[in-house]
Structure 1
Amino acid sequence: MPGFNLTSSDPSNFILMGIPGLEAAQVWIAIPFCAFYIIGLLGNFTLLFIVSKEQTLHKPMYLLICMLALTDIGMSTSVVPNTLCIFWFNLKGITVGGCLTQVFFLHTVSVMQSAVLVTMAFDRYVAICNPLRYSTVLTNTRITKLGLVGLLRAVLFILPMPLLLNRLQFCANRIIPHTYCEHMAVAKISCGDITVNRTYGLVVACVVTGFDLTLIALSYGLIITTVLRISSKKAHQKALNTCTTHICVMLTSYTPCLFSYMTHRFGESIAPQIHIFLANLYVLVPPMLNPIIYGVKTKELRDKVGKYTCRM
């Protein structure tokens, strides 16, 4: 890689360092990052294309899958292209406005994704516990409205984050030891008091993640109770299979998110490289795995993918 440095010369801008201590290896680290990103984009855009083309898939469950695909695309695209520019072209400079925009967009999409997962859990609850009312309780219009409510909630919760960052004082150190602008990563380089930022970030994480996981746990508690009452083994197995896909998606989405959050705030003894790798896995792995999980586990979707693949 050439030794030129294309970092910003404007002292008012921020500098994203990438992965501190692994600068020499970043050009190679970028290869799997790029591969994961491309696979994720191809998978999610394929889902969106097939669902939009197939009239038989215009159902609440597939509308939710499309919403999840859009959040996956938004999450990875808000981070990965900029990260690859840092790794491959040494483009480390980012304007304050650009940094705050990235903070807002990334965290908004993350909260929105959590809302989609909660709605998916509710969808499975109605499908298993009240199957006769499914078509009346969950319509495409109602799912769209729930999606808009989730988006509004995300915007209202996250909008204060860039505003709180904008009020901080940044002195000589404007170097962010990260691959992208994450709320606390930016706040920590401030020379002012960041107590409000820490508190607000913790409150949002606890309220949003805690509330959403509680609703998901409640939904699956009711689902398990209903399934255990089913006497037929075949029906029992069918009911459990309908939940497996959603559980896998939740694990791929929430696990790296929670690990990244915990290490960033409470893992002071953990090496910075681990913090950053976990933060990048959070925006890379779920968008790559989610369309694969749905493509493999959902028969109707798998058949449609096969149909379009055979045409090519």
Structure 2
Amino acid sequence: MPERNQSFVTEFILTGFPGLHPEYQDLVSAVLFLVYFLTLTGNVTILFLFACDRSLHKPMYHIIINLCTCDILFSTTTLPNIISKYWFHSGTISFNACFVQMFLVHYLGTVNSYILFLMALDRYVAICHPLKYPFVLKNSTIIILSIIAWVIALAGALMLVIRAYPLPYCASNIINHCFCDHIGITLLACTDRAPYGFPAFVFAMVMLLGPLAFIIFSYFCIIIAVLKIADVQGCIKSLSTCSTQLIIISLYYLPRCFVYLASNVGITFNADVRIVIIMLYSLSPPMINPFIYCLRAKDMRVSLLKQIKRRAVSKKAQVSAICN
């Protein structure tokens, strides 16, 4: 009998945080809603500023727009389900919807990693080969590379879904997580997980360590190039242009590397601690990134203030017209 026909599970149940006491569920759901609201508000603001201000139409901001889009989609894919679980006590998700969510989680995570790779490439060319920058990384080049990143990321995520979907799911349907991911789903399969888990692990390592290796190499080259600058002010200015990206990259990669290394050296966490760590490194960067752009990027701050002043002047004009 084909494995597909042995599946009796029609829906999955997301536990969220298994050890969470009922009296704290409303508080946790409110925090998650606030995270979702801030993520949408911050990233939509960046998209709005980019659309309204042509001075932001530079290679670096084209990359940031891709990152904002990815962050909005990832948060929308993962957070509404777990918020509704605690608000409306509806923690179930259909069989097919769970696999769609799994695909989007891994697809958008891969795209995010590739976009961070592009950010590192942008800073590497700008600082190590400044004379070539206007010719090598034009807006059109960044747009093409971004499209390639979104397309290439499809392959790995589709592979995970295609291999996991036909497995027999005939026992527990409880996923100890806040959203559907490959590990959470395949652990419930009534079959040996090893042939499916190892390719997924290789995919995760390639997706994570491939871009990270170039990022480390690029910033190593950047530091060497900056140290050769005799002018102290020049050194500080060059490093400051990279600081925003280093913060974003650290938020994305360091917690993930910690979780992977911990699991490989035998460090174990209870279910709640593991889920909290995963939620922190999955949801914190999308929420924090827009505020980092606005606080650290001068062009973005100027554009934001310009839009605020423009709206203030427009409101005054409307009030004046009504009074007259």
* TM-score, normalised with respect to structure 1: 0.92
Q: Secondary structure at the match of 2:13?
A: strand
The 5 A counterparts of 1:73-222 are: 73-222=72-221
Q: Cα deviation per residue 1:156-210 (whole Å; 9 max; x = unaligned)?
A: 1111111121121111311111111011011112221111221012101211211
Is 1:16 the counterpart of 2:14 in the alignment?
yes
Q: Post-superposition shift, 1:11?
A: 5.1
Q: Post-superposition shift, 1:265?
A: 7.0
Pick closer, same or farther for the CA change 1:262–1:167 going to 2, 3 Å: farther
CA contact (8 A) 1:13 1:93 kept: yes
Q: Cα deviation per residue 1:10-40 (whole Å; 9 max; x = unaligned)?
A: 9521111221121512222111111111111
Q: Post-superposition shift, 1:134?
A: 1.2
Pick closer, same or farther for the CA change 1:194–1:263 going to 2, 3 Å: same
Q: Post-superposition shift, 1:51?
A: 0.9
Is 1:30 the counterpart of 2:29 in the alignment?
yes
CA contact (8 A) 1:252 1:290 kept: no
CA contact (8 A) 1:116 1:147 kept: yes
Pick closer, same or farther for the CA change 1:267–1:307 going to 2, 3 Å: farther
Q: Cα deviation per residue 1:57-96 (whole Å; 9 max; x = unaligned)?
A: 1110110110111111111111001110111111121111
Whole-angstrom CA distance in 2 between matches of 1:184 and 1:130: 42
The AA in structure 1 aligned to 2:240 is N
Whole-angstrom CA distance in 1 between matches of 2:12 and 2:267: 23
Q: Could you tell me which residue of structure 2 aligns to residue 235 of structure 1?
A: 234
CA RMSD of aligned residues (A): 1.7
CA contact (8 A) 1:252 1:289 kept: no
Whole-angstrom CA distance in 2 between matches of 1:259 and 1:288: 21
Whole-angstrom CA distance in 1 between matches of 2:228 and 2:71: 36
Pick closer, same or farther for the CA change 1:259–1:80 going to 2, 3 Å: farther
* TM-score, normalised with respect to structure 2: 0.89
CA contact (8 A) 1:263 1:275 kept: no
Structure 1 spans left out of the alignment, 5+ residues: 1-9
The AA in structure 1 aligned to 2:200 is G
Q: Post-superposition shift, 1:138?
A: 0.6
Q: Post-superposition shift, 1:250?
A: 0.5
Q: Cα deviation per residue 1:122-154 (whole Å; 9 max; x = unaligned)?
A: 100111111122111111111011111111221
CA contact (8 A) 1:263 1:270 kept: no
The AA in structure 1 aligned to 2:150 is L
The 5 A counterparts of 1:34-45 are: 34-45=33-44
CA contact (8 A) 2:127 2:222 kept: yes
Structure 2 spans left out of the alignment, 5+ residues: 1-7, 313-324
CA contact (8 A) 1:260 1:282 kept: no
CA contact (8 A) 1:16 1:94 kept: yes
Q: Post-superposition shift, 1:294?
A: 0.8
Q: Secondary structure at the match of 2:132?
A: helix
Whole-angstrom CA distance in 2 between matches of 1:262 and 1:31: 32
CA contact (8 A) 1:86 1:179 kept: no
Q: Post-superposition shift, 1:266?
A: 6.6
Which is worse superposed, 220-229 or 302-311?
A: 302-311
Q: Post-superposition shift, 1:264?
A: 6.6
Q: Post-superposition shift, 1:283?
A: 2.6
Which is worse superposed, 260-269 or 22-31?
A: 260-269
CA contact (8 A) 1:188 1:194 kept: yes
> How high is the sequence identity, in percent, across the aligned residues?
34
Pick closer, same or farther for the CA change 1:130–1:138 going to 2, 3 Å: same
The AA in structure 2 aligned to 1:206 is M
Q: Could you tell me which residue of structure 1 aligns to residue 273 of structure 2?
A: 274
Q: Secondary structure at the match of 1:14?
A: strand
